[in-house]
Amino acid sequence: MCDEVPTGLRIKSLDVSNLSNITMNALFRPNSNTGFVGHNPYVIGNKYALISCYQDGLYMYDISSPATPTIAGYFDTHPQGGASASNNYGSSSYNGNWGAYPYFKSGLIIANDMQNGVFILGATAFAPAANFNNAATICSGVTTTFTDVSTNTPTSWSWNIPGASVPTSTLQNPSVTFTAGGVYNATLIATNASGTNSVVKSITVTATPTVITGGVSSICVGSSATLTTSGASTYTWNPGALTGTNIVVSPTTTITYTVVGLTGSCSNTNTKILTVNALPVVNASSSTSLMCVGQTLTLTGTGAATYTWMPGNITGNTIALSPTVSTTYSVIGTSTSNCINSSAISVSVSACTGISSLTNAENQFMILPNPNSGQFVIVGSSDAFDISVYNSIGQLIKFIPQNKARVNVDLSNSAKGIYYVVINSQGKRINRKLIID
């Protein structure tokens, strides 16, 4: 560091490695003249210091040994006075070399003299000032590039990068991948014909997260699923832009979810396939929907892999039952993918009073068969008789007059259900119940 006031002060070399306890390495100047003024120092790669000295011109010091700086170069921009002119400063004003700039990649130096103009100086004796840049964020497993920004035109480079996939390199700008997170000291040694210089920087590598997905892999249409993930700090799921460790989704078709896990500025991805299975199309059928007490019906389920019938909790695709009252049966069908659907069917049960007793001696009228599909025979006596058929709400749907012995009746176009047959014979009215199934 330099101080211009008063004149004749010396240049200071300081140790700033401990900012809370800065100490002095050396106190020096190129001559003992009381008119000497040093100012505007520039440090080049911790090896050289370039100091503008007004009428004394431009000095270059080798500071590689901070306690014993030595003059490495000199150029007199102001021959009118100063140390090169028998210490004749010629003026008490601030004349001469006011400043210089030494950081061109070419190694050239610009020196400005307030009276004599600009000087472009070659400094072929400059060794490189080693320096490099690296990405602000480095993630393990991701390629990153170290970029040489050394000055004074180095011609060769030697890198030592611990923890990298290629720990050593002679490339100017090597690209490497760190296998794990951590703090590493990367070293660059830059060399040219004038010498060698090195720089060491601490590199922080953040471990790229390993994102793990979990949760169910299949659901049925209409159901929801909870998907889980771990291994990072924050997570974003797509599609849907959902966030969090656990998400609940209800897709209607098979879908692939992608989760991005983030730790710091480092990210990784994983996927989760969720299969959506269709519900089985379950159907229930019965051998009859109308029956008499004491008869047996067969229920059949189709469309699934397994079946459970209610009431009764009976399993099987086909079951035989003899209900005594009208009942609605439900069948729960389960597919091979464990999806469930159901169907129901109702069966009407009648006591069928009198239908089977038509053969008694008092009344010789029979309906055969009964129940039937709408086509049946009424067998009667040799006397003439009229037949009237009514539906369940009392509407006359068929009248057949003056019959004898045997009558074929066709009601196949009528709806299934319970009907009433009224037979008038010899002044007597006989009522019978008819079931069309």
The DSSP line for 74-86 is EE-S-TTSBGGGT
Asked whether the bond before 6 is cis by omega within 30 degrees of 0, the reply is yes
User: For tokens 């037949």, what's the residue?
Assistant: 387
Q: Which residues pair with 119 in a beta bridge?
A: 111
Residue 230 burial (CB count, 10 A)? 13
Q: What count of residues does the chain have?
A: 437
Residue type, 144: T
Q: Are 49 and 72 in contact (CB under 8 A)?
A: no
**What φ, ψ does residue 85 adopt, rounded to 5°?**
-120, 55
Indicate the SS3 state at residue 122.
Answer: coil
Q: What is the pLDDT of residue 293?
A: 83
109: exposed, middle or buried (Cβ count in 10 Å: 0-12, 13-18, 19+): buried
The alpha carbon of 135 is separated from its chain's Cα centroid by a whole number of angstroms, namely 25
Q: How many CB atoms lie within 10 A of CB 320?
A: 11
The predicted structure's pLDDT at residue 239: 95
CA distances from 173 to 146, 189, 204 (A): 5, 12, 19
Taking the domains of the chain in order of start, what are their residue ranges? 11-121, 132-206, 212-277, 283-350, 358-436
The gap from C-alpha 79 to its chain's centroid, in whole angstroms, comes to 72
Strand partners for 234 = 262
Could you count the other beta carbons within 10 Å of the beta carbon of residue 398? 15
| DSSP output for 8-49 | TPPEEEEE-SSTTS-EEEEEE-S---TT---EEEEEETTTEE
DSSP bridge pairs for 188: 159, 199
> Which CATH architecture is the domain 283-350 placed in?
Sandwich (2.60)
- What is the rounded CA–CA span in Å between residue 384 and residue 377? 16
Indicate the helix (H) or strand (E) that contains 403: strand 396-403
The domain covering 132-206 belongs, at the CATH homologous superfamily level, to Immunoglobulins (2.60.40.10)
Q: Where does 358-436 sit in CATH, by number?
A: 2.60.40.1930
Chain position carrying tokens 């998907």? 227
CB 8 within 8 A of CB 41: no
Distance CA(375)–CA(436), nearest Å, equals 9
Instruction: List the chain pLDDT tens, one digit each, 437 residues.
Output: 888 888 888 899 999 989 999 999 999 888 877 778 889 999 987 788 999 988 888 999 988 888 989 888 889 888 887 655 455 555 556 788 999 999 887 778 999 999 999 999 875 557 788 999 999 999 999 999 999 999 878 999 999 999 999 999 999 999 999 999 999 999 999 998 888 999 999 999 999 999 999 999 999 999 999 999 999 999 999 999 999 999 999 999 999 999 999 999 999 999 999 999 999 999 999 988 778 888 899 999 999 999 999 999 999 999 999 998 989 999 999 999 999 999 999 888 877 654 443 334 335 678 888 889 999 888 876 678 889 999 888 889 999 888 877 888 999 999 998 899 988 887 788 888 899 98
Residue of 186, 105, 87 lying closest to 151 (CA atoms): 105
- What is the Cα–Cα distance from 304 to 301, expressed in whole angstroms? 8
Give me the sheet containing 297-302, strands edge to edge: 283-286, 297-302, 318-321
Dist CA 100 CA 110 (whole Å): 5
Distance (Å, whole) CA 271 – CA 254: 13
Does a cis peptide bond (omega within 30 degrees of 0) precede residue 174?
Answer: no
CATH number of 212-277: 2.60.40
Q: How does DSSP classify residue 171?
A: S
Residue-level pLDDT at 85: 46
